[in-house]
A and B are shown apart, each in its own frame.
Chain A
């Protein structure tokens, strides 16, 4: 009897998905490429950049009244959590409404977006981007909808996403009640992740920022 082989046969799982390998490598690369001093100072740096650009045209209105319900059973057209609501429409688009007062769970949002057919890479305290940024962002993302104090809402059209791209969501919490979420198209075959907050959206094309601030506007053009 070879009990070691029996144990291996019983416990062995399929190999990891290639996306899991890539994602783990990106996490490691982020840590390797970021000097320790910079990582320590990131929060302050991020807050400074965002505070200076809070009124930029691409910053969506933020609701401070909350109003999110408890999670509903999956399998319906709407996924509702305390942090976000994701509604899939018959025409293939999806509406995402983020509660900026609650820290988004990257894994949950990523899984739910993918469940709705939206390829997404969601990270917390880091942001993944491609250089150059793939075109077509304005066709994929539209919004905002609603007026303050309504929570920031965007509509996503996954059918407009160019082949080989994903939506990168970078979640940057910088207080217990304020979170900014940066969104950008990335080329899945070539992107890098960094804990440094990207340059303010007005200076970059194809970027949307969901977060605090009272400004309303369209995403920067593609």
Chain B
């Protein structure tokens, strides 16, 4: 059904139903919830207008949509930077850590806030192309080939960008990120 949307526009609504939440999650991760409602919807409007350009030989619908969403996010780089700056001051812990004892929780929060600051600083310091690859892998959970299709770059470039981005993040996190009991780990 999804493959038929080029020939039958009505089928495009099924594409929306299948992927809207995934696209929303990705955009919300980069720009926040408020922007995600509009930009995720905009992704599908752009996709519909450009549906004739979709080439099923080069990739599936999902990475194609993530590519469009990434291009839309690129128009909001300042908002993305502001979001990371805000997140650096608001450590987000996995639920089981939030339920821990108060003392453990305080320690976990202090550690998490430090990590959040370093992590968001690392994200802000990445080249835009490297950050796109990293977040498509981490948040959208696309594979190498899917990211290559989404960004229209060779798979080898995806591998090198992802490797470089992960190295910079690790470097930024330093020894603290290697702690066994880091609150980020479940």
Q: Which residues of A contact B (CB under 8 A)?
A: 1-17, 20-21, 23-25, 27-29, 31-32
B37: A residues at CB distance < 8 A = 16-17, 20, 23-24
Q: How far is the CA of A12 from the CA of B139 in the complex (A)?
A: 8
Q: How far is the CA of A23 from the CA of B40 in the complex (A)?
A: 11
Q: Nearest chain-B residue to A7 (Cβ)?
A: B138
B92: A residues at CB distance < 8 A = 9-10
Q: How far is the CA of A12 from the CA of B92 in the complex (A)?
A: 9
B: contact size bracket: 35 or more
Q: Return 26 A-B CB contacts under 8 Å, by A number.
A: A1-B170, A1-B173, A3-B169, A4-B138, A5-B186, A6-B119, A6-B182, A6-B184, A7-B134, A9-B92, A9-B184, A10-B120, A11-B135, A11-B139, A15-B25, A16-B24, A16-B33, A20-B37, A20-B41, A23-B41, A25-B13, A25-B17, A25-B20, A28-B16, A28-B44, A28-B48
**Interface secondary structure of A, over-half rule:** helix
* Chain B positions 1-50 with a Cβ under 8 Å from a chain A Cβ: 9-10, 12-13, 16-17, 20-21, 24-25, 28-30, 32-33, 36-37, 40-41, 44-45, 48-49
Partner of A31, one of B48, B134, B139, B185: B48
Question: Is B116 positioned at the interface, with any CB of A under 8 Å from its CB?
Answer: yes
Question: Is B166 positioned at the interface, with any CB of A under 8 Å from its CB?
Answer: yes
**Interface secondary structure of B, over-half rule:** helix
Question: Is B129 positioned at the interface, with any CB of A under 8 Å from its CB?
Answer: no
Q: Nearest chain-A residue to B5 (Cβ)?
A: A32
Q: How far is the CA of A10 from the CA of B85 in the complex (A)?
A: 12
A28-B25 in contact (CB<8A): no
A8: B residues at CB distance < 8 A = 29, 138-139, 141
Given known contacts A10-B116, A10-B120, A1 and B138 CB-to-CB distance under 8 angstroms: no
A31: B residues at CB distance < 8 A = 45, 48-49
A7: B residues at CB distance < 8 A = 119, 123, 134-135, 138-139, 169
B25-A13 in contact (CB<8A): yes
B13-A32 in contact (CB<8A): yes
B29-A24 in contact (CB<8A): no
Q: Nearest chain-A residue to B93 (Cβ)?
A: A9
Q: Nearest chain-A residue to B9 (Cβ)?
A: A32
B12-A28 in contact (CB<8A): yes
Question: Is B150 positioned at the interface, with any CB of A under 8 Å from its CB?
Answer: no
A11-B87 in contact (CB<8A): yes
Q: How far is the CA of A31 from the CA of B46 in the complex (A)?
A: 11
A21: B residues at CB distance < 8 A = 20-21, 24
Q: How far is the CA of A174 from the CA of B170 in the complex (A)?
A: 55
A5: B residues at CB distance < 8 A = 138, 184-186
Q: How far is the CA of A3 from the CA of B171 in the complex (A)?
A: 11
